Structure 1
Amino acid sequence: MDDLVTERLVLHPLSVVEAERVAAGEPEDGDRWAPGYPTDDDMVGARRYLTTCAITGDPQPFGAYEIRLREDGRAIGGLGFHGAPDEDLRVTIGYGLIPSAHGKGYASEAVRALLRFARSRGITAVKGDTDHDNTASQRVMAAVGMRLVSQDERLKYYRIDWADDRRAG
């Protein structure tokens, strides 16, 4: 699987071996991790990916990606799919950045690229969620075209659909 490249970022699909290092928080020679990477959320995402691989096999290209800066290759966060598409070709995504990378538009840039990729692969809907107090993540999802569809006492749920676009065209 090839990297997804944006203006400032490289979204690198993690192999099982790379995900094991992220999950353990233990880089090897050649890993270029910015200070603060991986975060606890990155480690949780890598473990989710590894669990999916163990149960159903590697879901790539619908797996975990490392967010790297194009300028120097350093990993600054992660994003990816929570598994392969369901029977209706819907997926759920998650993402996060190290604190020093916040506020620079990297999350929106990375999520936009992931959404373009999902749509190019025939995905009909992408879902995501965030805590009520995570206004930055809420702004990212709104900025990339996802809309708030529901909420409960813990989370706000966002979604973007392309099924109607496909039928009309």
Structure 2
Amino acid sequence: MRAMSGTQVTEAVRGCVTTLRAAADRDWTAVRAGSLEWDCHATALHVAECLLAYAGNLAGHARDAYVPFELRLDDGVGNDGLLHVLETTGALLAAAVNTAAPGDRAFHPYPFRSADREGFAAMGVVEVLLHTHDLAAGLGLAYTPPEELAESVLTWLFPHVQPGPEAWPTLLWATGRGELAGRPKVDSWRWHNNLVISAERLTLTGLRPAAARDLRLGGDGGFTWLGGAPYEGTRDAAGFMVKAYEAGVHRPDFGVFTLVRAADGLAVGGIGFHGTPDAEGRVELGYDLVPEARGQGYATEAVRALTAWAIARDDVHTVVATVEADNAPSQRVLARAGFHRAEAKQEEAAREDHGMESGQRLYVYTG
């Protein structure tokens, strides 16, 4: 799995500073940064402000708003000084990311009001890559970041964007800075940090495409697993998610979640949706646990938490789950989570309309 850490932040900032240093003798206030309304000086300062803000929020464990401080340059600071500030703020974010604990999250407004250390690293990298592109365009400089760096931020922060033939042109298209054959022009965009849902003893941590791909290929997805490895069902679910991502139909809100035990940070299972809500607001979930975590109520807790999150949405009216007729433990999990066994005609409709296999039972939750 391609990492997203302080190393990538440092790499991105180094490429930015190396590129811009070639034009350090010019007046950056007199040149617009590509298609932006800002001039090049204001754009470079904005990048430094973002890097510092992300470092401050992550290191300060900000919860409801940005840490209340701002970056101000000393009077008379030239472009060389500004580039030094970029290097310094990049180093601060890299250090904050590298020293944060795996489960640490801090405030960021979009879309779920928090991000983890990988999210802050990816946001910093995106700011640097895109605005270096803008600055280079304004100053007439050549700039192309490493392809692996662009691909990493796409798989960590743009799970809703279908991969293109090459990562850097895809990232430029996805952020309204370029064209991509066969795709409409992008006029507005946002990145997408992963969804995390808290339960009593668990954290349901939304999988990003990078982590799902690693799980599908036999890796750990960046998690430490109770028993040493995930259950095979989690790998299968990750594989289906990767296929949806590659096809451009993945919706991160209705993806796969790793169940992380709050007490020790160990992953104990997976849960997720089999797709997005249909026209009637019906969505199906599935789940599994590693053998060492079974019989302790974790599955019930996870199903309750994910079902409550889903049913609170305007586009979900019914949550369903299918289970084998001889799987009594899973049936008890669903019953404890508030599901009820469907009527015979509902099960027949599920077989005809939704492909439910013969011998499975349908459980329904309507709130």
**Same fold? TM cut 0.5:** yes
Structure with the higher helix share, 1 or 2: 2
Structure 1 SS opposite 2:258: strand
Structure 1 residue 136 corresponds to structure 2 residue 341: no
Structure 1 residue 90 corresponds to structure 2 residue 295: no
Structure 1: where are the runs of 5+ without partners? 163-169
Alpha-carbon spacing, 1:157–1:56, altered in 2? closer, same or farther (3 Å) = farther
- Which of the residues 109, 112, 133 maps onto 2:304? 112
Structure 1 SS opposite 2:240: helix
- Which of the residues 203, 221, 229 maps onto 1:37? 229
Alpha-carbon spacing, 1:36–1:138, altered in 2? closer, same or farther (3 Å) = farther
- Which of the residues 191, 206, 216 maps onto 1:23? 216
- Which of the residues 129, 136, 145 maps onto 2:338? 145
Determine the structure 2 residue equivalent to 1:3.
196
Note the alpha carbon deviations across 1:143-164, whole angstroms, 9 max, x for none. Answer: 11111114574211111124xx
Determine the structure 1 residue equivalent to 2:366.
161
Structure 2: where are the runs of 5+ without partners? 1-193, 348-356
Cα distance, 1:36 vs. partner? Answer: 4.7
Decide whether the 8 Å contact of 2:220 with 2:230 is kept in 1.
no
Determine the structure 1 residue equivalent to 2:245.
53
Equivalent-residue separation in structure 2 for 1:142 and 1:37 (angstroms):
28
Decide whether the 8 Å contact of 1:112 with 1:144 is kept in 2.
yes
Amino acid at match of 2:366: D
Amino acid at match of 2:289: L
TM-score, normalising length: structure 1: 0.88
Decide whether the 8 Å contact of 1:20 with 1:47 is kept in 2.
yes
Structure 1 SS opposite 2:254: coil
TM-score, normalising length: structure 2: 0.42
Structure 1 residue 75 corresponds to structure 2 residue 292: no
Cα distance, 1:37 vs. partner? Answer: 2.7
Identity of aligned residues (%): 34
Determine the structure 2 residue equivalent to 1:124.
317
